[in-house]
Amino acid sequence: MARSEIRFLLVMNEPNLIDQANRTPAQASINWVKYELVISDLAAHGRVIYLVGSAITEGTMTNYSDPLLGSTLFTLHLNLLTAGEIPKSTPSHFIGMIMV
Measured between alpha carbons, how far is 56 from 61 in angstroms, rounded to an integer? 12
Is residue 24 over pLDDT 90? Answer: yes
Position 88 confidence tier, pLDDT thresholds 50, 70, 90: low
Task: Assess if residue 3 is contained within a domain.
Answer: no
pTM (two decimals): 0.79
Task: Assess if residue 88 is contained within a domain.
Answer: yes
Structurally, the chain folds into a number of domains equal to 1
Task: Assess if residue 99 is contained within a domain.
Answer: no
Other beta carbons within 10 Å of 39: 19
Lowest model confidence (mean pLDDT) among 38-42, 56-60, 88-92: 88-92
Structural domain for 61, as ranges: 8-94
Task: Assess if residue 47 is contained within a domain.
Answer: yes
Position 44 confidence tier, pLDDT thresholds 50, 70, 90: very high
Angle between helices 67-81 and 25-44 (to 10 degrees): 50
Contact predicate 22/62, CB 8 Å: no
Q: Residue 18 has what pLDDT?
A: 92
Task: Assess if residue 2 is contained within a domain.
Answer: no
Task: Assess if residue 83 is contained within a domain.
Answer: yes
Task: Assess if residue 100 is contained within a domain.
Answer: no
Q: Residue 4 has what pLDDT?
A: 85
Q: Residue 93: which of 67, 63, 69 has the closest Cα?
A: 67
Task: Assess if residue 40 is contained within a domain.
Answer: yes
Inter-CA distances, 66 with 15, 34, 36, 42, 59, Å: 12, 25, 26, 34, 6
